[in-house]
């Protein structure tokens, strides 16, 4: 507005016209993104172009996480349709051209700050979860991660990139049930160093019996008595199936 000597109202009018033509995209009120020519058909540039600036404009912490972070870490089991972001605000999803930005809530972001990494983008950088934080989040935000088989398939590719000490440290900020489920899956996938670190973290905590997949408990198909894993106190109604594509 200063450079063009425009008042606020004139700027809003101009921005509205450019938005209608697709040259500007406004993912949030008062925050504008210029759409590069090569993305005009998309309706907006990829979220990685502006997510860091948008979250800084809002003044809230964030990191790109879950399946999207796994993809960015080289564990792209299959194309991720959502651009998944963890933050301490409960925001509605944003339709961003061909993309959809979905937000997942974590109250205490400082507790997992050690698990955030800076990743270069075409326009600067953005914060993403480390492989260790990603693994824990995949079990915490089940609605964002898909079936247990899908999570295990992602972890099968992600686990070799996980730092053991980082995983053990971050696990202290997660629910016991998350650590139990992740430990069991790591065990089944033969990543025993990760499983051992998680078991040590749980050593002095009382463990209750939990379902590996809570959604299967209510299924009439799964009526048989579940198998029980004594190490993790996990009840299993069927074997995990890994897609090795």
Domain ranges (residues) in the chain: 1-44, 46-236
pLDDT attached to residue 155: 96
Q: What is the mean pLDDT of the chain?
A: 92
For the domain 46-236, what is the CATH code?
3.30.460
pLDDT band per the 50, 70, 90 thresholds, residue 220: very low
Q: Is the pLDDT of residue 5 over 80?
A: yes
Task: Tell me the per-residue pLDDT of 55-110, one tens digit each, with 9 for 90 and over.
Answer: 999 999 999 999 999 999 988 667 788 999 999 999 999 999 999 999 999 999 99
Cα separation, 189 vs 157, in Å, equals: 10
Determine the pLDDT at residue 214.
82
Q: Give the pLDDT score at 218.
A: 56
């Amino acid at each position: 507005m200063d450079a063009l000597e425009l008042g606020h109202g004139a700027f809003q009018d101009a921005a509205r016209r450019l938005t209608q033509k697709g040259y500007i995209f406004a993912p949030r009120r008062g925050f504008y993104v210029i759409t590069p020519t090569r993305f005009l058909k998309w309706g907006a540039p990829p979220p990685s172009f502006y997510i860091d600036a948008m979250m800084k404009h809002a003044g809230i912490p964030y990191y790109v996480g879950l399946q999207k972070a796994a993809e960015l870490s080289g564990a792209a089991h299959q194309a991720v349709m959502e651009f998944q972001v963890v933050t301490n605000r409960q925001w509605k999803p944003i339709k961003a051209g061909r993309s959809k930005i979905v937000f997942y809530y974590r109250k205490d972001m400082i507790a997992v700050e050690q698990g955030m990494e800076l990743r270069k983008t075409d326009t600067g950088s953005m914060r993403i979860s480390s492989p260790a934080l990603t693994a824990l989040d995949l079990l915490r935000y089940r609605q964002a991660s898909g079936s247990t088989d899908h999570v295990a398939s992602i972890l099968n590719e992600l686990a070799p990139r996980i730092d053991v000490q980082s995983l053990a440290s971050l696990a202290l900020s997660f629910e016991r049930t998350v650590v139990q489920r992740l430990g069991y899956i790591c065990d089944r996938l033969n990543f025993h160093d990760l499983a051992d670190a998680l078991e040590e973290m749980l050593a002095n905590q009382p463990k209750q019996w939990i379902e590996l997949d809570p959604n299967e408990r209510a299924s009439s198909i799964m009526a048989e008595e579940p198998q029980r894993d004594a190490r993790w106190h996990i009840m299993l109604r069927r074997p995990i199936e890994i897609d090795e594509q």
